[in-house]
Amino acid sequence: MTHRWPTHGGAREWAEARYGPPPQGRWLDFSANIHPSGCPPRILEALRRALDRVALYPDPEAARTTAALARRLGVPAECVLLTNGGSQALYLALGSLRPGSVGVVQPCFAEYARAAAAVGATVRAVVAPPPFAWQAPPPGCECLVLGRPNNPTGMLPPPLQHPRVVWDEAFIDFTPAPGAATMRYRAARGSCIVVGSLTKLYGLAGLRAGYVVAEPGAIAAMARLQPAWSVNTLAQVAVEAACATAVDLSWLAPTRAALAAGLRNCGLRPFPSSANFLLVDCAPMSGQALCDRLGPRGILIRDAGNFPGLGPNYVRVAVRWPEENAQLLAAIRAATGDRRS
């Protein structure tokens, strides 16, 4: 039986079909860039208390939840649209703009091209070569879609002066990005659109919790395109609880640096990142081959070969807790025959 390679990370059902159950009873998942603690207890408790509300329709306007999120983001509520994950936010943004051409800097999230195709736009790309430093996007495009920080490279692009930029800030909470609040302020004033997500920081990927920040007219246009009840009751409850929950990220930068050093010591080539993941060149081995060597050991990493602009020798790994990163490094050494300490 063959198992088609997944398009995104976190494909645990696919992994079990391909590799069998994980030896330790649970997957050690570096393929999805989620906070290693998962969903905070405060949010889980709020969800438990709300379970008896699942028989009721959610608030279609998500008014209270939108107000809480707007306070967290530091913008007026009329400048925020709650969405079914960051991907829906991206599709709504491009659906409202309906550009003829979309400029991207590759390697980048594959959904940019899919969202552009959904509105009939032509994608024009500039490919950044290793080490994947900032490259100016192609000139003359009606719209730009740029990750801030970029997935899968973790590169943080500078602010741009362009009349129509959609900034994908799905991982902005994990990086000390200068001007993050300023970018949202600019979006609320109409100079750009920001799409974001709460799923990574708060471990809510299964509930789909995203948002758009834009000027009120643009938000109204996107709301008209959004299917009714896109944001379910539990997602609204989780977002409200998340907005009142602080998450410590002081561990991330030193842990990311230590993981990068360990990967280099395994003979791999990680690239600089400002996010909670690392893009890694594992040549001469292919990314799929490395995934297949780690999968039977209960460890999942993300084959990055299907990111536009990358070849077959790349993987992406999330930054997890130091003891979990140590397990990954030990498994890589064992799987590749590298015995360097």
- Considering the domain architecture, whether residues 140 and 259 belong to the same structural domain is answered as no
Q: Among 193, 227, 243, where does a domain finish?
A: 243
Residue 129: CB atoms within 10 Å: 8
pLDDT at 2 exceeding the cut of 80:
no
Strands (E), 12-86: 28-29, 80-83
For the chain, the farthest-separated pair of C-alpha atoms sits apart, in whole angstroms, at 59
Question: Residue 6 and residue 303: Cα distance in Å, rounded?
Answer: 9
> What is the pLDDT confidence band of residue 10, given thresholds at 50, 70 and 90?
confident
- Considering the domain architecture, whether residues 222 and 302 belong to the same structural domain is answered as no
**How do 314-318 and 302-303 pair as beta strands?**
antiparallel
Q: Which residues contact 66 (CB under 8 A, 6 or more apart)?
A: 77, 80, 81, 82
- Considering the domain architecture, whether residues 128 and 217 belong to the same structural domain is answered as yes
Are the C-beta atoms of 138 and 103 separated by less than 8 Å?
Answer: yes
> What is the pLDDT confidence band of residue 1, given thresholds at 50, 70 and 90?
very low
- Considering the domain architecture, whether residues 91 and 213 belong to the same structural domain is answered as yes
User: In this predicted model, what pLDDT tens digit does every residue of 141-168 receive, in sequence order?
Assistant: 999 999 999 999 999 998 888 889 999 9
Q: Among 243, 262, 278, where does a domain finish?
A: 243
pLDDT at 180 exceeding the cut of 70:
no
Percent of the chain at pLDDT > 70 equals: 96
Are the C-beta atoms of 71 and 234 separated by less than 8 Å?
Answer: no
Global pTM reads 0.93
User: In this predicted model, what pLDDT tens digit does every residue of 305-341 receive, in sequence order?
Assistant: 989 889 999 999 999 999 999 999 999 999 887 544 3
For residue 337, how far is the Cα from the chain centroid?
32
Q: Which of 270, 313, 33 is nearest to 303 (CA)?
A: 313
- Considering the domain architecture, whether residues 169 and 300 belong to the same structural domain is answered as no
Residues in the chain: 341
> What is the pLDDT confidence band of residue 245, given thresholds at 50, 70 and 90?
very high
What is the span of the domain harbouring residue 256?
12-35+249-336
Question: Total structural domains in the chain?
Answer: 2
Q: Nearest 10 degrees: CA dihedral of 32, 195, 145, 87?
A: 50
| Whole-number pLDDT of residue 196 | 95
Q: Which of 103, 206, 237 is nearest to 163 (CA)?
A: 103
Question: Residue 290 and residue 280: Cα distance in Å, rounded?
Answer: 11
Question: Residue 213 and residue 190: Cα distance in Å, rounded?
Answer: 9
Q: Among 197, 228, 243, where does a domain finish?
A: 243
Are the C-beta atoms of 275 and 34 separated by less than 8 Å?
Answer: no
Identify the three-state secondary structure at position 132: coil
What DSSP letter does each residue of 133-174 carry, written as one string? ---PPPTT-SEEEEESS-TTT---PPP---SSEEEEETTGGG
User: In this predicted model, what pLDDT tens digit does every residue of 39-78 receive, in sequence order?
Assistant: 999 999 999 999 999 999 999 999 999 999 999 999 999 9
